[in-house]
Structure 1
């Protein structure tokens, strides 16, 4: 599913963010990515959806090598992956329904399919009754659920979550995690960067710890392992 082989990333300013990472993530896994601030987690996550390109090495997702794919092909590869951001990245002038539908419109789905699938995923994230609301009219937790709905509406094989509970209160964070677990139970592979010690230590999954750009720890049902 996801294979990284001898991956390095050095930024133009000389900062080496990723130092020779090798990792395999199988279909259907739920993986936490943890580590201190500045350890390379964000770069690790961004390379998975080609927001960043490795300096060298191979990143293969669904048989596509993201290190070698041409720029014009990236949007097509991203159609089979969903991304959830800490700050939601919703379009403020679109309703909840329209924000989710937009992800299908860009791949030119029919209006019939769009309506059916959007309402289905809004039901999964418990927001069917908020379809006509705008982002400023709903809570932060509800906005994140819209972002999740948008990320899964095209049935991606991989869901990449970058600090999805980072801006949320504890109760709302647990609601988001339970939704992510349900999505994972349906067969979607999830890779989630997080600083939430309580979530990692309670919902035991595979833990990949990154320190100074390297894999410091890779454990099944691991714990957070840091004070914060």
Structure 2
């Protein structure tokens, strides 16, 4: 599903963020990416959805070579990759329904299908009764659930979650994790960068620890392994 072959990433300012990385993630896996700040986690995540390109090496997602992909093909790639951020990135002037439907409107999906899929997805994240609300009328946890709904409404094969619980209290964080678990159970591959020690140690999924741009540890049922 995701494969990195001898990946190096050096930024124009000379900072080497990824240093000879090799990795594969199978379809349907749930992977936590951990490591200290500045270790290369954000660059690693951005390489998967083609926000960044490697300086050297090959990145494959669902057998597509992202390293040599033309810019005009990137929007089509992202139809199969959902992304959830720490700060939600919702459009404040749009309702919950409109924030989620936007992902389908840009690919010119049929109007009737849009409503059906959006409402089904909002039901999955337990927000069907708040479809007409604006983001400012929601709690932080509810806003993150809208962000998840927007990311999964296209039925992506891969979901990237970059610190999705970073701005949430512990109880709300577990609500978000339960939703991600359900999404994963339906076959979506999930790669989640996190500093949340409790979640990683409790869930016991595959853990990839990145340090100095390299994979320091890759364990099938790993723990966090760093001081939080």
TM-score greater than 0.5 by the shorter chain: yes
Residue 120 of structure 1, CA deviation: 0.3
> What's the secondary structure of 2:58's corresponding residue?
strand
Give me the whole-angstrom Cα distance separating, in 1, the residues matched to 2:152 and 2:57. 29
Q: Deviations over 1:54-95 (max 9, x none)?
A: 111000001111111011110001001100000000000000
Give me the whole-angstrom Cα distance separating, in 2, the residues matched to 1:49 and 1:81. 7
Which residue number in structure 2 is paired with residue 27 of structure 1? 27
- Does residue 62 of structure 2 align to residue 86 of structure 1? no
- Does residue 211 of structure 2 align to residue 217 of structure 1? no
Give me the whole-angstrom Cα distance separating, in 2, the residues matched to 1:38 and 1:81. 24
Q: Deviations over 1:145-191 (max 9, x none)?
A: 00000000000000000000001111100000000000000000000
Query: For 1:61-76, what aligned pairs fall within 5 Å after superposition?
Result: 61-76=61-76
Flag structure 2 segments of 5+ consecutive residues without an equivalent. Answer: none
Which residue number in structure 2 is paired with residue 18 of structure 1? 18
Which residue number in structure 2 is paired with residue 174 of structure 1? 174
Residue 134 of structure 1, CA deviation: 0.2
Which residue number in structure 2 is paired with residue 116 of structure 1? 116
Which residue number in structure 2 is paired with residue 45 of structure 1? 45
Structure 1 stretches of 4+ moved >3 Å: none
Query: For 1:131-210, what aligned pairs fall within 5 Å after superposition?
Result: 131-210=131-210
TM-score for the superposition, normalised by structure 1: 0.99
Q: Deviations over 1:13-70 (max 9, x none)?
A: 0000000100000000000000000000000001110111111100000111111101
> What's the secondary structure of 1:155's corresponding residue?
coil
- Paired residue total: 228
Flag structure 1 segments of 5+ consecutive residues without an equivalent. Answer: none
